[in-house]
Amino acid sequence: MTTELTIRRPDDWHLHLRDGAMLEGVIGDTSRHFARAIIMPNLVPPVVTTADAAAYRDRILAALPEGDRFEPLMTLYLTEHTDPDDVEAGYESGLIRAVKLYPAGATTNSHGGVRDMDKAMPVLERMAKIGLTLCVHGEVTTPDVDIFDREAVFIETVLDPLRARLPELRVTMEHVTTKNGVDYIKSAKANLAGSITTHHLIINRNAILVGGIKPHYYCLPVAKREEHRLALRAAATSGDGRFFLGTDSAPHVDPLKECACGCAGIYTSINTMSCLAHVFEEERALDKLEAFASLNGPAWYGLPANAETIRLVRRAQPAAFPAKIETGAGPVTVFDPMFPLHWDVA
Ligand code: NCD
Ligand code: ZN
């Protein structure tokens, strides 16, 4: 049995760090293991201009624990009024690594997102021209579509038509949760990749609904049926360069999760590498973990893989992660994979 594994230092290609006291409380859990992360722009108010992104980047760097080296890769929140020239200037300066499409109403702080894709076309056309990636929250929000079908319907009615209209546009389908998403990415000839979260490799929708309602397993896109989880595991552990890690670690304080209208989001930054090593070991694919967590993402985003390495060790005694972390904003419950975590970063 393999009990040690050294891989290039991983990156997180989809992360929510929030701001203020929450940012200060969570950033160390990412910078401990990860060298870089794509930072989601859904703050209140959102990060919509290059100037907003530059200021947010400074706040992130100021919150880093002493001695940690971590590079936040900044994104812009796409609105119907985003200025293509500002996007291009941000990209050319090296600050902006992607633009994020939230269909209006799809998830946390997405009300300022896009309602009418036609209004976003000038920015998207500019991005296609300069080679800037669009990160997509791939869900429709129309009330007649079942929440478990939102991703599949988005692919058919929004994403595929957009890619036909603008084949040069590079698109990351973020947090893919369905077999439909996996198959769609695999069928694309170019310019499409997908990130997969830690938790969607581990839970299916039963985790949220069986034996009582479990708000700490609720996130968006919501976890789907078991067949979808299995398709995600196959994709993540295949070594296929189009699939890589984006944890979508999304902290909310417990009172906002444990209430009559709880927020979507699961906090996994602290134990992601332990969870992933467990999953890849179960799939007899530990040799593919480095591709998923450390190589495929940088290749897609045109960055070098990290030179440093981390060492994962399988211990007889499971690692003891806290059930909650305390932040200045309040307590945040840590993702419980419902199995003991023998792997840990040494
Ligand atoms: C995210 C958040 O809380 O910001 N929540 C989530 O469930 N993933 C938003 C998102 O990425 O959808
Ligand atoms: Zn997210």
What is the DSSP code string of 22-89? Answer: HHHHHHHHHHTT-SEEEEP---SS---SHHHHHHHHHHHHHHSPTT---EEEEEEE--TT--HHHHHH
By the 8 A CB rule, do 209 and 218 touch? no
pLDDT value, residue 275: 98
265 lines ligand 1 (CB under 6 A): yes
Q: Binning pLDDT at 50, 70 and 90, where does residue 107 land?
A: confident
Q: How many CA atoms lie within 13 A of 315 on its CB side?
A: 14
- State the distance from the centre of ligand 2 to the C-alpha of 152, rounded, in angstroms: 18
- Count of domains for the chain: 1
pLDDT digits (tens, 9 = 90+) for 309-342: 999 999 999 999 999 999 999 999 999 999 999 9
Show the domain range for 238: 4-345
- State the distance from the centre of ligand 2 to the C-alpha of 42, rounded, in angstroms: 9
pLDDT value, residue 106: 86
pLDDT digits (tens, 9 = 90+) for 149-208: 999 999 999 999 999 999 999 999 999 999 999 999 999 999 999 999 999 999 999 999
Give the pLDDT mean for 210-223. Answer: 98
Give the pLDDT mean for 51-70. Answer: 98
Give the closest ligand to the alpha carbon of residue 40. Answer: 2
Give the pLDDT mean for 103-107. Answer: 89
Is 286 labelled as part of a ligand binding site?
no
* Whether pTM exceeds 0.85: yes
Is 18 labelled as part of a ligand binding site?
yes
- State the distance from the centre of ligand 1 to the C-alpha of 100, rounded, in angstroms: 13
Q: Of ligand 1's atoms, which has the minimum distance to the CA of residue 42?
A: 4
By the 8 A CB rule, do 198 and 246 touch? no
pLDDT digits (tens, 9 = 90+) for 120-133: 999 999 999 999 99
Give the pLDDT mean for 208-216. Answer: 98
Give the pLDDT mean for 10-32. Answer: 98
pLDDT value, residue 218: 98
Is 16 labelled as part of a ligand binding site?
yes
Q: Binning pLDDT at 50, 70 and 90, where does residue 82 land?
A: very high
Tokens of 274: 């332990």
User: Whole-angstrom Cα distance, residue 158 to residue 118?
Assistant: 11
Could you give the percent of the chain with pLDDT greater than 70? 100
Residue 312 maps to which CATH number? 3.20.20.140
Test site for ligand 1: of 108, 151, 154, most ligand atoms within 8 A of the Cβ: 108
User: Whole-angstrom Cα distance, residue 132 to residue 168?
Assistant: 10
DSSP-derived letter for residue 21 is: H
Q: How many CA atoms lie within 13 A of 266 on its CB side?
A: 28
pLDDT digits (tens, 9 = 90+) for 283-294: 999 999 999 999
Q: Of ligand 1's atoms, which has the minimum distance to the CA of residue 110?
A: 9
pLDDT value, residue 108: 84
List residues with catalytic annotation: 248
Mean pLDDT of the chain: 97
**Count of CB atoms within 10 A of residue 184's CB?**
22
